[in-house]
């Protein structure tokens, strides 16, 4: 083998079909459509956390031997009135616009749902955003066992959770034998784990299982198999209503659409599919654990014809770090020379192949990490160079984007850096106050207790 001592040349750009050839050479790699997920959910859903959850479920289920009719899952979901989703439509091929006209988003309405492992849905509780209940919001054909209530924020609260438990769940699911125990699975929302809720469940033979934090998207049957279909069906009903009138949707119209969407989405098949996909009934932890990401291990490459012997006219020794393409070519030539040698034993030849393969893998991982570090450094430097916006208060009024305000803001900043004078401060005719964006965001937060959402979860 001959090493070139010529100066290092710039690497050639990859071709347009490089990705197709790369996928052919690496059949273990495939292209997929990515889906969005919150960072907290992604980090919390680990193999160890989910394994401990299923261990606790198995222990409780085997201890009390629940029947599928007495295992329930409860959760609430919010719906924005007038909201829609992207959908497919048939249009003329000459049509250039693909917009779908919808109305403006209105208030938020919450629905509390509960389903059993037997495929039966408990009647819901609807929470409107209002101070007083109006009978005009409830259509005449609404099922008689539905419950309607109000909230100043449109969200659930501690009182709503307790009222649902005592007026909806317990009366409608109470078994004939009072000693028969029921299992209720729900997330760690603050309205689910209050003292009143826990004491009531203890007195009425209701066992509670609290999901791990931020794991409901894979462990809760309602999130896995019911709510997505419900939102799609409700979006279809909203599109049908907006095609006739793009104005404001009244609450009674929304309730009618919700009734029709619920009949289509919450069926026995969708409920049972949610329990199966979450691995809770029939109890199958491997259903969820098998979908969690695991650490990839190096697998042996497929057998291929070794390349023909050629001179190593590359700049491997002159480049630091070596170019990936040149490294693979050099490894291929090196392995070919080792295989052509008759003096080396077979174990040594196999070891050389694994050594070069591991070297290439380490080089690829190192290049990826270096690229990520560069991108993170660019992001950090960009964040450091950003200047925070300022808010200027003049006699209690907020004024933005004027030369006078900018001038007073600079003066206030200069005064804040100077040392405060001794003695009694003088009164100023105009007080200029500079507040950061963080303080402005805190003032905009509503003080309504119903709007707070504190997650309290038990560790399994």
What tokens were used for 14?
Answer: 């990859």
Quote the domain boundaries for residue 412. Answer: 387-416
pTM of the entire predicted model: 0.63
The pLDDT value recorded for residue 399 is 37
Q: Are residues 48 and 179 in the same domain?
A: yes
Cα(120)–Cα(267) distance, integer angstroms: 8
Q: What's the order of all strands across the beta sheet hosting 397-399? A: 397-399, 391-394, 432-435
If asked whether residues 237 and 281 sit together in one domain, one would say yes
pLDDT at site 332: 82
On whether both 353 and 320 belong to a single domain, the answer is yes
Residue 28, domain member (yes or no): no
pLDDT score for 69: 96
Give the sign of the dihedral formed by CA 298, CA 303, CA 304, CA 309.
Answer: positive
Domain-embedded: residue 267: yes
For residue 111, give the CATH number of its domain. Answer: 3.30.420.10
- Is residue 184 a contact partner of residue 206, using CB atoms and an 8 Å limit? yes
Q: Which residues of 415-438 are buried (b: 16+ CB within 10 A; e: fewer)?
A: eeeeeeeeeeeeeeeeebebeeee
Residue 72 lies in a domain: yes
Clarify whether residues 310 and 163 are in a common domain. no
Q: Are residues 234 and 123 in the same domain?
A: yes
Residues 338 and 412 in one domain: no
Residue 112 has a CB neighbour count (10 Å cut-off) of: 25
* pLDDT of 371: 84
Pick the last residue of a domain from 230, 254, 289: 289
In angstroms, the CA 328 to CA 177 distance is 72
Dihedral, CA of residue 218, residue 221, residue 227 and residue 230, to nearest 10? 140
Q: How far apart are CA 299 and CA 357, in angstroms?
A: 10
Helix (H) or strand (E) run with residue 369 in it: helix 346-385
- Residue 427 is predicted with a pLDDT of 52
Is residue 54 domain-resident?
A: yes
Domain assignment of residue 322, yes or no = yes
Domains in the chain, number: 3
| 17, part of any domain | no
Quote the DSSP letter at residue 280: B
Axis crossing angle, helix 251-265 with helix 227-244, rounded to the nearest 10: 130
Spatial strand order in the sheet of 121-129: 147-151, 121-129, 108-116, 71-80, 182-186, 206-210
In a domain, 264, yes or no: yes
CA 276 to chain centre: 21
Whether 320 and 278 map to the same domain: the answer is no
- Residues 77, 177 within the same domain: yes
- What is residue 401's predicted lDDT score, i.e. its pLDDT? 34
Residues 240 and 117 in one domain: yes
Q: Are residues 373 and 403 in the same domain?
A: no
338 with 226, same domain: the answer is no
Choose one of 384, 400, 434: the last residue of a domain: 384
Along the 460 residues of the chain, how does pLDDT read in single tens digits? 444 455 555 566 778 888 888 888 888 888 888 888 888 898 889 999 999 999 999 999 999 999 999 999 999 999 999 888 777 777 777 777 777 777 666 789 999 999 999 999 999 999 999 988 888 899 989 999 999 999 998 899 999 999 999 999 999 999 999 899 999 999 999 889 899 999 999 999 999 999 999 999 999 999 999 999 999 999 999 888 888 877 788 899 999 999 999 999 999 999 999 999 999 999 999 999 998 876 544 444 455 554 454 454 445 555 555 666 777 777 888 888 888 877 777 777 778 888 888 888 888 888 888 888 888 888 788 777 755 544 444 444 433 333 444 455 566 667 666 655 555 655 554 444 334 333 333 333 333 434 333 333 344 4
Based on the fold, state whether residues 215 and 115 are members of the same structural domain: yes
Inside any domain, residue 351: yes
């Amino acid at each position: 083998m001959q090493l070139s001592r010529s100066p290092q040349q710039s690497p050639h750009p990859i071709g347009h079909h490089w990705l197709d050839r790369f996928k052919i050479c690496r059949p273990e790699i495939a292209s997929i459509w990515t889906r969005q997920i919150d960072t907290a959910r992604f980090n919390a859903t680990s193999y160890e956390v989910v394994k401990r959850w299923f261990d606790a479920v198995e222990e409780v289920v085997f201890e009390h031997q629940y029947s599928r009719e007495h295992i329930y899952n409860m959760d609430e979901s919010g719906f924005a009135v007038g909201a829609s989703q992207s959908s497919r439509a048939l249009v003329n091929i000459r049509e250039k616009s693909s917009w779908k006209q919808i109305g403006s988003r209105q208030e938020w309405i919450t629905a509390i749902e509960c389903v059993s492992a037997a495929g039966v849905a408990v009647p819901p509780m609807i929470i409107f955003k209002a101070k007083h209940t109006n009978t005009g919001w409830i259509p005449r054909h609404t099922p008689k066992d539905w419950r309607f209530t109000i909230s100043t924020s449109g969200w659930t609260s501690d009182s709503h959770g307790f009222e649902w438990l005592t007026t909806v769940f317990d009366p409608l699911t109470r078994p004939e034998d009072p000693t028969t125990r029921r299992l209720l699975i729900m997330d760690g929302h603050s309205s689910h784990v209050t003292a009143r809720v826990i004491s009531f469940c203890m007195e009425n033979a209701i066992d509670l299982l609290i999901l791990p934090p931020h794991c409901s998207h894979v462990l809760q049957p309602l999130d896995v198999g019911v709510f997505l279909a419900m939102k799609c069906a409700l979006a279809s009903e909203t599109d049908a209503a907006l095609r006739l009138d793009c104005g404001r949707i009244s609450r009674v119209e929304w309730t009618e659409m919700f009734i029709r969407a619920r009949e289509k989405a919450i069926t026995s098949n969708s409920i049972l599919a949610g329990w199966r996909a979450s691995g809770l009934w029939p109890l199958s932890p491997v259903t969820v654990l098998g979908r969690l990401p695991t650490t990839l291990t190096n697998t042996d490459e497929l057998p291929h014809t070794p390349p023909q012997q050629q001179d190593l006219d590359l700049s491997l020794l002159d480049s630091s770090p070596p170019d990936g393409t040149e490294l693979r070519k050099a490894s291929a030539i090196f392995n070919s020379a080792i295989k052509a040698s008759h003096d080396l034993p077979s174990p040594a030849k196999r070891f050389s192949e694994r050594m070069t393969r591991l070297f290439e893998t380490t080089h690829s991982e190192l290049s990826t990490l270096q690229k990520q570090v560069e991108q993170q450094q660019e992001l950090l430097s960009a964040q450091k160079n950003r200047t925070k916006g300022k808010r200027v208060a003049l006699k209690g009024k907020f004024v933005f984007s004027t030369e006078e305000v900018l001038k007073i803001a600079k003066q206030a900043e200069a005064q804040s850096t100077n040392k405060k004078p001794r003695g009694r401060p003088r009164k100023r005719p105009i007080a200029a106050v500079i507040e950061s964006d963080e303080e402005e965001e805190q003032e905009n937060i509503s003080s309504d207790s119903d709007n707070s959402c504190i997650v309290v979860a038990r560790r399994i």
